[in-house]
């Protein structure tokens, strides 16, 4: 009877020890790190989303082939938000609540980022938008980061280019009053251009999904500007460009990174020729990391990568550096690393993250020449 009690005590002790051992074992090195991607694979800005998806997938494959993040592979979970803010909000909830990702990449366009970011912030999960340029994005909270420059930076850059390089004294502006992205760039451009001494002779607005711009363009035509600034995505800029030219507006047309899509030429009917726009990178840039990215992307997808692809690739490189530095799935450790990683050799050049969550890097001016995007200027941050 005594022997039986001793055996039971011994057995219970062994079980308790084994349970403690299981509970305290470190996470296996080959357990995948779940990372979410929210991107518009369908809808009005689908070319943006497909480019981002391609580049992020390529980056993840390269990371995993090289041994993953400190020995752990990345498992990429992708949702299509269709370029819709409600879909973006639903997608980030699924990634956090159901898929239990350690980090979210995306969404791609500013309105969708503004819908998704507060949810990630509230849940305490880091979110890195590769392409969102709205100035207020990172002010949502300390868990929100980006791989792109701010709208104010590109708006001011185009204003300086118009005034200093093109010597334009009078410019008209047409923008989407219902789109934070379009409105934000417009405000930055207008303020800087007027500070420099330029005159905005006409400021016309429309709403998202409008397709007839004749009234606004007629108002612009009669005021005889020296150029027209169109800060919007290709899906709206294309029809505006076509209608402007058909109405007889022959002055230079100026745009922003949202123009960078092969669909622009189709929607503008070839009238985009000669236009200028601000962008994140150029395939003409001979920086070694830029050319290496272009070569890899072309080899895998058979086409030259646009700026959205470049930013998608930079986004996954920033995430890689942060996850390696954090060496943890703890959200706060990942957050701290995202705001401090530096000297990342990305598709758009050298990237240094600042604690605010925005990278410090260059911007380029592109001109459309014979249907090709040609680098005409490169501006480094102050």
Domain boundaries, the chain: 33-148+286-361, 152-279
Domains 33-148+286-361 and 152-279 share a fold: yes
Among 308, 360, 335, 315, CA closest to 46:
308
Question: What would the CATH number be for the domain defined by 33-148+286-361?
Answer: 3.40.50.2300
Determine the topology of domain 152-279 in CATH: Rossmann fold (3.40.50)
What is the per-residue pLDDT for 7?
45
The residues pairing with 15 across neighbouring beta strands, listed in sequence order, are none
Tell me the pLDDT of the chain (382 aa) as tens digits. 334 443 444 444 433 333 333 333 333 345 999 999 999 999 999 999 999 999 999 999 999 999 999 999 999 999 999 999 999 999 999 999 999 999 999 999 999 999 999 999 999 999 999 999 999 999 999 999 999 999 999 999 999 999 999 999 999 999 999 999 999 999 999 999 999 999 999 999 999 999 999 999 999 999 999 999 999 999 999 999 999 999 999 999 999 999 999 999 999 999 999 999 999 999 999 999 999 999 999 999 999 999 999 999 999 999 999 999 999 999 999 999 999 999 999 999 889 998 889 998 889 999 999 999 999 999 876 6
CA dist., res. 101 & res. 89, Å (int): 15
Among 58, 64, 92, CA closest to 78:
92
Among 275, 280, 22, CA closest to 132:
280
What is the per-residue pLDDT for 19?
34
* N-term to C-term CA, the chain: 84
What is the per-residue pLDDT for 21?
32
Name the residue with tokens 């991107």. 39
What is the per-residue pLDDT for 3?
42
What is the per-residue pLDDT for 14?
38
Quick check: 121 and 57 in contact, CB under 8 A?
no
Quick check: 273 and 265 in contact, CB under 8 A?
no
């Amino acid at each position: 009877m005594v022997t039986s009690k001793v055996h039971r005590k011994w057995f219970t002790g062994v079980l308790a020890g084994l349970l403690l051992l299981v509970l305290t074992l470190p996470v296996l090195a080959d357990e995948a790190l779940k990372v979410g991607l929210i991107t518009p694979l369908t809808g009005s800005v689908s070319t943006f989303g497909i480019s981002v998806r391609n580049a992020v997938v390529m980056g993840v494959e390269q990371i995993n082939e090289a041994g993953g993040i400190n020995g752990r592979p990345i498992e990429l979970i992708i949702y299509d938000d269709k370029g819709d803010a409600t879909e973006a909000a639903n997608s980030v909830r699924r990634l956090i609540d159901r898929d239990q990702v350690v980090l979210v990449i995306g969404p791609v366009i500013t309105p969708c980022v503004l819908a998704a970011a507060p949810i990630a912030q509230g849940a305490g999960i880091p979110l890195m938008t590769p392409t969102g340029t709205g100035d207020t994005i990172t002010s949502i909270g300390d868990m929100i980061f980006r791989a792109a420059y701010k709208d104010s930076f590109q708006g001011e850059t185009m204003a300086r280019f118009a005034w200093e390089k093109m010597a334009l004294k009078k410019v008209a502006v047409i923008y989407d009053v219902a789109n934070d992205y379009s409105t934000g760039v417009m405000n930055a451009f207008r303020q800087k251009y007027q500070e420099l001494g330029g005159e905005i002779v006409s400021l016309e607005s429309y709403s998202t999904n409008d397709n007839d711009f004749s009234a606004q363009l007629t108002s612009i035509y009669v005021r005889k500007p020296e150029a027209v600034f169109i800060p919007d995505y290709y899906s709206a800029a294309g029809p505006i460009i076509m209608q402007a030219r058909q109405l007889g507006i022959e002055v230079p047309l100026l745009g922003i990174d949202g123009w960078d899509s092969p669909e622009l030429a189709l929607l503008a009917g070839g009238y985009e020729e000669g236009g200028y726009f601000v962008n994140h990178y150029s395939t003409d840039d001979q920086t070694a990391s830029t050319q290496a990215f272009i070569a890899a992307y072309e080899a895998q997808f058979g086409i030259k990568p646009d700026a959205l692809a470049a930013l998608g690739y930079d986004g996954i490189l920033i995430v890689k550096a942060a996850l390696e530095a954090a060496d943890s799935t703890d959200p706060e450790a990942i957050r701290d690393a995202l705001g401090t990683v530096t000297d990342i050799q990305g598709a758009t050049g050298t990237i240094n993250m600042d604690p605010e969550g925005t990278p410090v890097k260059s911007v380029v001016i592109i001109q459309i020449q014979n249907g090709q995007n040609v680098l005409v200027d490169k501006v480094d941050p102050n």
